[in-house]
Amino acid sequence: MVFVLTLIRRKIKTMKTKKKILVAIDFDEQSLIALKYAKYYAEISKYDLEVMAVIEESGFMSKLVSSDEMVVKINKEAQTKLNEIVGNIPDGIKLNIRIENGKPYEKIIDVAEEIKPAFIFMGKSEMPKYKRPFVGSNSMHVILDSIYPVITIRGNFDFETYKNEHHEILVPLDFKYETSEQVTAAIEFAQLFDTRMRILAIQTHGDKGDEMKLLTKLGKTKKVIEEAGVTCESELIQEEKLSIPEIISETAVKNKSALVVIMTRQESRVSEYVLGSIARNIISGMDIPVLSIQPWDVNEGSKIFTMFYDPLDVY
């Protein structure tokens, strides 16, 4: 029997995205770092750039003034500042800058629904440890509530080193769950940015039989990726002492990853405001960009990426 491993270009009619990158700015250092990466991604992909800032209703300035005239003045000043911050844009990239008023994460989601970006870029600021299990930052709210993929960047990794030396997409896979959306997203990013992939499975316990099952699934997944025209390496790490986020972080550093692609499925459905601990710790602990993909079975409207045929029943 011959299996044909080909990508099926089945476009989702209800959820077409446009060649746009949405980046949200709040004028702090971390969001400016996100803007720098978003401009770089736009240059490589030739996608248009939508830059937005939100004047928060509960912010200090909003409490001081309430008249329409003052709101217009504040927005105008914010627009001027944003224009200065954005600066030069690579040739061939269309730029749109906008100011919104309201709760930042709500406005980001609203604008995303309006312009239908390929993905959203956000800075990820540090949070106190006691707040980390809960969504207390705008980026975490958007990751949970948006139907569009979100790329977060935390820290201030050397940007020139990133551009010159980091050319691999790391995809940590948990084969206990559905992973086809995650792999498909990574394939499309690898094709878009002309880079290679590394798929990773982590075994924290189990016997030789479990090891062989993981190696078999890695091999089948690697073949699917290579049939899509993407260079791919596969790796199984057996580790009992380090946590899964620590292993992923070490692997990303060792292999100079440019992007880590994760699923944001919740290990516990206790609350819609709780992000799974593994996903949360990966996002909070990585200094390079992390792409968060929502499971299709959680949000049916998020079938953004094309889907591929799985005749070998890898997943």
**Residue 300 DSSP label:** G
What pLDDT, on a 0 to 100 scale, did the predictor assign at position 17? 74
- pTM of this structure: 0.81
Which residues, other chains included, contact 1 with Cβ-Cβ below 8 Å and sequence gap of 6+? none
Q: Which residues contact 269 (CB under 8 A, 6 or more apart)?
A: none
Tens of pLDDT along 272-312?
444 578 888 898 888 899 999 876 533 443 333 444 434 34
Helix runs in the chain, H state only: 29-45, 60-64, 68-86, 104-115, 138-145, 159-165, 180-193, 208-227, 244-254, 277-285
- 283: its two tokens: 């996002």
Residue 129: per-residue pLDDT: 44
Domain coordinates in residue numbering, the chain: 20-153, 159-302
pLDDT of residue 112: 96
The residue with tokens 């998020």 is 302
3-state DSSP assignment of residue 186: helix
Q: What is the pLDDT of residue 178?
A: 81
Residue 252 dihedral angles phi and psi, to the nearest 5°: -65, -40
Q: Name the token pair of 21.
A: 């990158």
pLDDT value of position 65: 52
Residues in the chain: 315
Check if the beta carbon of residue 296 is closer than 8 Å to that of residue 177.
no
pLDDT for position 67: 60
Residues 6+ positions from 170 with CB-CB distance below 8 Å: 197, 198, 200, 248, 251, 252, 255, 257, 259, 260, 261
The reported pLDDT for the residue numbered 299 is 40
Amino acid 92: pLDDT:
84
User: By three-state DSSP, how is residue 229 classified?
Assistant: coil
Topology classification of domain 20-153:
Rossmann fold (3.40.50)
d(CA 70, CA 293): 39
Q: Which residues of the chain have pLDDT under 70?
A: 1-16, 57-71, 125-136, 265-275, 295-315
Buried b (16+ CB within 10 A) or exposed e, 224-249: bbeebebebebeebeeeeeebbebbb
User: Which CATH superfamily groups domain 159-302?
Assistant: HUPs (3.40.50.620)
Angle at 305 between CA 311 and CA 173, to 5 degrees: 60
Encoded amino acid at 238, one letter: Q
pLDDT of residue 191: 94
pLDDT score of 91: 82
Same CATH topology for 20-153 and 159-302: the answer is yes
The confidence score (pLDDT) of residue 130 equals: 40
Nearby residues of 260 by Cβ (< 8 Å), 6 or more positions away: 169, 170, 171, 172, 248, 252, 282, 286, 288, 289, 290, 291
Confidence at residue 265, expressed as pLDDT on a 0 to 100 scale: 63
Give the whole-angstrom CA distance, residue 214 versus residue 212. 5
Amino acid at 86: V
